[in-house]
Chain A
Amino acid sequence: KQEVTQIPAALSVPEGENLVLNCSFTDSAIYNLQWFRQDPGKGLTSLLLIQSSQREQTSGRLNASLDKSSGRSTLYIAASQPGDSATYLCAVSKDGNKLVFGAGTILRVKS
């Protein structure tokens, strides 16, 4: 059974810092991996989708990497802003349909 772990569980940083969120998964036979953002009381917003054949994806200040063989992904956020404060969720899929989520990292960026 696929298990997804996210470290750290919570992170507080001053504005402007670069930061890394970590995600690990136990079964490397994945189809893709997605990073989501969830604001309090809201739904999930898809940030980046990495196919199993890809090594990384970038969108603005966000960069996600994937090392499928070791079962790891990282989400790098450059020059963090208070508006980046949210819960970040990593999810993997074996078939491109069913997602298995990690518990998330709660990020707080202090101004």
Chain B
Amino acid sequence: DAGVIQSPRHEVTEMGQEVTLRCKPISGHNSLFWYRQTMMRGLELLIYFNNNVPIDDSGMPEDRFSAKMPNASFSTLKIQPSEPRDSAVYFCASSQDRNYGYTFGSGTRLTVV
């Protein structure tokens, strides 16, 4: 299995632009999570899906952030408009079942200038 696949690996964009981050979970995993990692705040859960349905989006910082999971093999995290304070590493993770561990992707390093 190729693991959790995220794209792009790096994204540099100008303030005000729309940014879309992509994630392909491991086949057969029915839970998908989006985390953000910064030096100041560490790792924070933004949103998670179970069977493609958003379960908890209480970590989404603002309405500028949105996430979708149109099918079991694909999810997107969109920021519109982007701001410099959104600069961080965004991780996607998937899990087969809550009794099993997470598998994390390699992350997308986002820089908003």
Question: Which residues of A pack against B, CB within 8 Å?
Answer: 31-32, 34, 36, 42-46, 49, 51, 89, 91, 93, 95-104
Contact = CB atoms under 8 A, between A and B. Distances in A.
A97 B98 contact: yes
8 nearest CB pairs, A to B: A96-B98, A46-B101, A43-B104, A101-B43, A44-B104, A49-B101, A43-B106, A103-B42
B37 to A, nearest CB: 9
B102 A46 contact: yes
B91 A98 contact: no
Interface residues of B, number: 24
B91 A49 contact: no
B14 interface: no
Contacts of B55: 97
Contacts, number: 54
Chain A at the B interface: mostly helix, strand, loop or mixed?
A: strand
Contacts of A44: 91, 93, 102, 104
Given A44-B91, A46-B102, A99 B45 contact: yes
Nearest to B31: A97
Chain B at the A interface: mostly helix, strand, loop or mixed?
A: strand
Contacts of B103: 46
Given A97-B31, A98-B45, A98-B56, A42 B101 contact: no
B102 A34 contact: yes
B102 A99 contact: yes
A101 B50 CA distance: 21
B105 interface: yes
A91 B91 CA distance: 15
Contacts of A36: 104
Given A99-B45, A101-B43, A103-B42, A31 B100 contact: no
Contacts of B99: 32, 51, 96
A99 B59 CA distance: 12
A58 B103 CA distance: 19
